Chains A and B, each alone.
Chain A
Amino acid sequence: MTKVSRRNILKGGAAFAAGSTLGAPMIWAQNIKDVTLRQFGTGVSNLNDVANKVKEDLGFTLEMTALDSDSVTQRAATQPNSFDIADIEYWICKKVWPTGNLQAMDTSKIKNYDKIVGIFRDGKLTPTSTIAQGTAPHTVGFVEGPGGKEFVDNESGWMTLIPTIYNADTLGIRPDLIGRPISNWSELLNPEFKGKASILDISSIGIMDMAMVVESMGEYKYPDKGNMTKEEIDLTIGIFTEAKKNGQFRAFWKSFDESVNLMASGEVVIQSMWSPAITAVKSKGVPCVYQPLEEGYRSWGGGIGLSAALTGLERDAAYEYINWYLDGWVGGYLMRQGYYSAVPETSKDYMSENEWGYWFEGKKATDVITSPTGDALAQAGETRDGGSFEERMGAVACWNAVMDENQYMVRKWNEFIAA
């Protein structure tokens, strides 16, 4: 089989797939069974359930490796031959793309491309939205062509990452131990919670949470939180170093499990947290709220990128996988954990009306809401913290980012930890 003929088959296949709701078996089904794709990424979406479902629906093998954000960046930048598919965040993409280890993807092969939410295309959730600070996904989402090195500011038809998963993060609190409403980021440094606060020890994300707090305290208004000057970094970390010396923090956390334990054990009552960590605390029967705050959310988005070394049948399989990913099953799975899918409408088919109403529309649950693993997360009558998709994603104040002064920031961060 030559490349040309395979491409023709692919076109035929794509047209055929477009006609059915499921990724239907392809003409090269016999060959594709032997394909193994190696995917690596952060723990959030590297789920064995997904790999199993891929084998079932598409026939090929997906090997998953879950690493922390730093290791993911490191591997994508330094070991291009160790993976076929990189499941990374957009700010990691900004760091890794210049190495040439990833290849741009042809959006005409993505059948649900037109249904991808605006955030990942022109940056706007609705036509009237303003774009938040930081590394907004659409700013690093497109390049001018297959070999493009520079990001472009329009929908060029060549995507760096196909968006898969994203969410709006905020502070997690223990309402039972705080006993009053919390509505501002500045509460993280409120002396009332001395020795009971925590922040995450991942510099690139932690600095953004810090900036949200500093701005909320009225100490400083950043022109762009996602790209601070050295003076702004000094100021931000200075305020937190002061708080650390005064004993504000109980601990810092680096892994998901640590944040869950700190919160569930009551060591910490207010801290930076990720959505599934809230879910995990709740499923232990401990009250925990993902508190919406006046200043808005710190958001992040992840997507799938293809290794530059990927060609031929493997690349076809990868496109097949991406189309399947956006087709709804994974989206439904992720949305039932509290994340959002890049193509929400396809996920609807894989969720019950109650689940869709609770997770996406911000409606009251009409029945018990369970996680994909079966733990009860909410009872009938409860609503999701922060409300509907539009309310949550529409209130994003900044995106996770990588700064021009990144190395300086990292050194300052190390000093903060050692202070």
Chain B
Amino acid sequence: MLKHNSFVGWLMALPIMAVLVFFLVLPIIMIVTVSFWQATEFSIIPAFDLENYEFLFGSNVTYRVFFNTFKYAFITWVFTLGIGFTVAYFLAFHVRSLTWQIVLFLLCTIPFWTSNIIRMISWIPFLGRNGIANSTLISWGVIDEPLDWLLFSDFAVILAFVHLYTLFMVVPIFNTMMRIDKSLIEAARDAGASGAQILWNVIIPLAKPGIMIGTIFVVTLVMGDFITVRFMSGSQSANVGRLISNDIALLAYPSASATAVVLLLTVLIVIGIMLRYVDIRKEL
């Protein structure tokens, strides 16, 4: 009977297994394999050669670019977390009626009905030298000369990232907050805890899984991005995604694969470290 059950279990898991093997495991195996190959301008030569990795780790550009990638991920994380947590907290604890919670939540999602690229590119005329931001600031007398660092700078890149990805923080945090038993907060208040203490000792610990899920979303999305960095920095900054896309454009698939493998491992390590602090499965 037990044996039979496990057979049925395997059978039920088969479709998702098949999908994962075909669309996740096999492509990754392929990328890892190709990363050891060699390429000339026109042909890819199957081989087992560490040259791609040697070049990657031997070039100080790689370290600079990885540093840049982490920098973007970290700063974006700080801002999305701050904004996302505040918005979720407001929605979950300050808005009392369920209807209004739903209405306001949907309001947050409206900008996401348009594509990522459009939301990103619409910043460009806004932040430009003669854009709305600069002309408004000048007309208010705050500045005399247009601010050049508003566009095509790290500021612009991070602004776009925060704009694009804050919702990924709001949703999971809001979700976990909604499931916090309100009587816990009342109990804390009855026991004499201040608002800050309730936030720190009750709400944040209970919202941790949501924070962690949001963090994973934001960190992986930012670390894997290339198009936002290209457009918002005016092609002047690079992250790992851009290294890979440049390699692909120049037919250097093995070198692109090697960079992709290193990026994948880096992201997995980062997530591994984060999961040591919060056991998502236990707390969901």
Contacts and interface: CB of A to CB of B under 8 A. Distances in A.
Interface in B125-152: 125, 128-131, 148, 151-152
Interface stretch (A24-32, A207-215, A232-240, A245-253): A245-253
A93 B4 CA distance: 64
Contacts of A261: 124
Interface in B28-73: 41-42, 59, 61, 64-65, 68
Nearest to B121: A261
Interface string B213-241: 00000000000000000100111111000
A252 B231 CA distance: 10
Nearest to B247: A414
Given A74-B251, A77-B42, A265 B235 contact: no
Contacts of B251: 70, 73-74, 77-78
Interface in A97-144: 98-99
Contacts of A96: 42
Contacts of A78: 42, 251
Interface of A is mostly: helix
B128 A251 contact: no
Contacts of B41: 77, 95, 406-407
B128 A265 contact: yes
B236 A244 contact: yes
A254 interface: yes
B235 A253 contact: yes
Nearest to B232: A251
Contact of A418 (B128, B129, B234, B243): B243
Contacts of B125: 265
A70 B250 contact: yes
Interface string B250-273: 111000000000000000000000
Interface string A195-224: 100100101000000000000000000000
Contact of A98 (B42, B148, B151, B252): B42
A123 B235 CA distance: 36
Nearest to A198: B234
Interface in A160-180: none
B110 interface: no
Contacts of B1: none
Contacts of A253: 234-235
Contacts, number: 77
Contacts of A251: 152, 233-236
B107 interface: no
Given A77-B41, A78-B251, A418-B64, A252 B129 contact: no
B98 interface: no
A311 interface: no
Contacts of B233: 251
Contacts of A254: 230, 235
A267 B129 contact: yes
Contacts of A250: 148, 152, 234
Nearest to A414: B246
Interface string B105-128: 000000000000000000011001
A308 interface: no
B12 interface: no
13 contacts: A70-B251, A73-B251, A74-B249, A77-B251, A95-B42, A96-B42, A98-B42, A251-B152, A251-B234, A253-B235, A254-B230, A414-B61, A417-B242
Interface of B: 41-42, 59, 61, 64-65, 68, 124-125, 128-131, 148, 151-152, 230, 233-238, 242-243, 246, 249-252
Interface of A: 68, 70-71, 73-74, 77-78, 95-96, 98-99, 195, 198, 201, 203, 244, 249-254, 261, 265-267, 406-407, 410-411, 414-415, 417-419
Given A198-B234, A253-B234, 5 more contacts: A78-B251, A203-B250, A265-B130, A411-B59, A418-B64
